[in-house]
Amino acid sequence: MTIGGGLNEPRDVLGVAVWALLNHPQQLAQVVADPALFPLTFEEAVRWVAPIGMYPRETTKSTVLDGIQLPRGAHLGVVIGAANRDPKVFADPESFNINREKKPHLAFGGGNHFCAGTWVARASVAGVALPDLFRELPGLRLDPERPAVDAGWVFRGMTDLPVTWDSNSASQLSI
């Protein structure tokens, strides 16, 4: 879990955050002008597309959950991807909006198994990867010829994210 969580989910949130920002030029301009907004971008990206969309649970005793009677030993799929877009909690939940009212989301789970890597992910993606990417790749934009693809349900992220950028800058990268 530590190895999988250490690699896949941060990668997925990074891809989704880049895709979302490139699709929302005003929000992109906002974060480029004020890198202190990268943490907000990160939280909104994990809310909007939870990198772990569903995790399994089993009831250890019979219980009633939100009016539903559950027997002991029932297998449950906790769909945090849906919870994070609950219209009773988030206004206009389907939109990516870093300026939305700050609310707790469930992308890192909750309770005893709350993600052990939450702060590692925040530091590495919001503190390092996102700001570095937009600094090192000036003019980063979606490739108009090839559409980006997001996919997955249990694990969700970008499976294809073709981009281009301006190479005539001082900081060229060879990829």
Partner 1 sequence: MTKLSFHHSDGSIDVVETDSETSIMRAAVTNGVRGIVGECGGQAMCATCHVYVRPEYLGGLPGIGDDEDEMLDCTADPRDDVRSRLGCQIKLGTGFDELEVDVPGSQV
Give dist(CA 48, CA 69) in Å, integer. 30
Query: Does residue 114 bind partner 1 (CB under 8 A)?
Result: yes
Residues 44 and 52: their CA atoms lie apart, in Å, by 14
At 88, the amino acid letter reads K
117 binds, among ligand HEM, partner 1, none (CB under 5 to 8 A by kind): ligand HEM
- Phi and psi (nearest 5°) for 11? -60, -45
Q: With contact defined as beta carbons under 8 Å apart, do 123 and 130 qualify?
A: no
Is residue 43 involved in binding ligand HEM (CB under 6 A)? no
- Of 43, 85, 96, 134, which one interacts with partner 1 (CB under 8 A)? 43
Per rule CB under 8 A, is residue 57 in the interface with partner 1? no
> Which residue in this structure is represented by tokens 């202190």?
36
Question: Binders of ligand HEM among 72-131, rule CB under 6 A?
Answer: 107-109, 113, 115-117, 120-121
Tokens of 82: 């849906």
Interface with ligand HEM (CB under 6 A):
1-2, 5-6, 9-10, 13, 46, 51-52, 55, 107-109, 113, 115-117, 120-121
